Amino acid sequence: MNAVHLSCPMNKEKPKSSTIPPEVRRRRVRASAAILMAQEAAAQVKNDVYSELRSAHEEKKPLPKIKALRELMKTAPAGITLGRAKQVQYAIDDAVEMFRSYRSNFFAWAKDPASRPGKPGPPRFYRRGQRARVNFDYQDFRVLDNRLCLPSSMGMGPVPLADRDGEPLLNPGDRLVEVRVEPCRSRKWVHLDLVIRRVEPVKKPALSGNLLVDLGVTRLATCLDDRNLVAFFIGGEVAKAILHRGAKWHAKLKSEAALGARHGKAHARALAGRSARQMEDLMKKASLFLVTYCKANGIGRLVVGRNKDWKQHVNMGKKENQLFTFIPHGKLIEALRAKCAHASIEFVETEESFTSKTDHLAREEMGPKPEGYRWLGSRSTRGCFRSSMGFVLQADVNGCIGIGRKVGGEKWLNDFIGRLGSSPGTRLVPRKLHVNGRHVPVLSPGVRMPHPRGLSSRAWISTKVALTKAGLIPGLQRVAPATHIPQVFPKAA
């Protein structure tokens, strides 16, 4: 009798494929003269490639092959200046890919002009002195003792592969596969984009809770952490000072022009650009403070209130109207959106109508009311809100509660009031978060004093230092200053 064999599938272990997308981490390091020269040469290589491609496109000829462009760049001055053949090839590939993208958009527009908002334009040429990206693959650099060593011809020393908190960027088994040297606005610095291929994805802690943000003038951003029941705010005095100084210089130039002085439009444009850059820098730093607080406290969602056309028909007084309309809150919101996306934090933008007038602790309904309606709460002096329940809150904190109520509904409000306890006015007193000010470190014998600019009251404070001074980072280890006397710390019982 023949035996019948049943063919059952064997559970063979399939080799794991690297389906984890590469992770890109950015570090800012000091630039060397050689790396700046290489970036300028890469920009000139791209200009030469653009010139060849544009001439072929305008003459309706086939585009030259990449191999022909590489042969051409071997004898071109820009290719000789860049030196390394791989970096020349990467610059050529970037330029060709950019031009092909333009061509596809151009032909789609020529076939159907309604498919694009306008006629696509070709890639722009780099101006003299502008810099482009320089790429290095895994064969061009080494990683020794968790330090990145670029080619010695670039003139850059070993770069530590660690984040801001000192944690190593590479875990056991991870590989650094590419380094992209991106130009900064300042020639003193360059950005290193580190492309890391991980063996397994980094385990991120579970995030929960909301950070509710109410924007204003005197207080640029008032925040309420509904998870830890903590309120804090960033003052608007720095934004006011930037606007006042810009208006002062504008008035001075206008008065001198009335007396016959001719400064020219370039001087006025330079002053206006300086104020705009300072304001943009302030908005990015403020957004960094809020996102860093969310990461340090495990907050999973950041909610910002914003109304449509909220800067039209403002009735806050002449001075407040001018300040409110000129402070670019939209740039702050966009910076928060970008940083939240980078930190894997959910960003929500909601309308905030009737959030400050409503008495949320008394569960008053939000929304438009009939004429003659008397609100349960009232605004008192110095920006406070007096609830009908007998509590006094800061008015912007009451607005933050309204923003949370807009997103979470009545269920969120009942849970929030239940966790507040019997003294919400005491628990929700906002702390001030200083974005600049004097910070004198404790010095040990033989250590040089910092630069006087770092001790100025107008100097920017580090994000972690500012959050620590306000008591907003939990469990931050305090490091004793280095002295010749050994430090003895008491042990926990």
Q: List the alpha helices (DSSP H) in 234-381.
A: 237-258, 265-297, 318-326, 329-342
Is the torsion defined by CA of 152, 158, 161, 163 positive or negative? negative
- pLDDT, one tens digit per residue, over 121-175 is 999 999 999 999 999 999 999 998 889 999 998 988 899 998 766 778 888 888 9
Within a domain: residue 270?
A: yes
Residue 414 is assigned to a structural domain of this protein: yes
pLDDT digits (tens, 9 = 90+) for 201-246: 767 777 788 999 998 888 889 999 998 889 999 988 888 888 888 8
Asked if residue 221 and residue 170 are part of one domain, the reply reads: no
Q: What angle do CA 370, 373, 376 make, to 5 degrees?
A: 135
Q: Is 233 helix (H, G, I), strand (E, B) or coil?
A: strand
Instruction: For 252-304, write each residue's pLDDT tens digit.
Output: 777 777 777 776 667 778 888 888 888 888 888 899 999 999 988 889 899 99
Does residue 427 belong to any structural domain of this protein? yes
- In terms of residue numbers, what domain contains 362? 210-433
Measured CA to CA, the distance from residue 446 to residue 436 in angstroms comes to: 27
Tell me, yes or no, whether 442 lies in a domain: no
214 and 156 together in one domain:
no
- Position 96 confidence tier, pLDDT thresholds 50, 70, 90: very high
Pairing state between β 23-30 and 346-350 = unpaired
* pLDDT, tens digit, 9 for 90 and up, residues 344-366: 899 999 988 888 888 888 888 88
Domain count, the chain: 2
Is residue 29 domain-shared with residue 112, that is, in the same domain? yes
Residues 152 and 226 grouped into a single domain: no
User: Are 253 and 395 found together in one domain?
Assistant: yes
Which of 414, 433, 452 is the C-terminal boundary of a domain? 433
Residue ending a domain, choose from 197, 224, 247: 197
- Let me know whether 394 and 296 are in one domain: yes
In a domain, residue 485? The reply is: no
The better pLDDT of the pair 123, 342 is held by 123
User: Domain end: 197, 228, 262, which one?
Assistant: 197
Q: For residue 144, tell me if it sits in a domain.
A: yes
Across 308-425, the runs of DSSP E, i.e. the strands, are 346-350, 378-380, 384-386, 392-394
> Is the same domain home to 177 and 321?
no
Is residue 293 within 8 A of residue 470, CB to CB? The reply is no
Q: What is this structure's pTM? A: 0.66
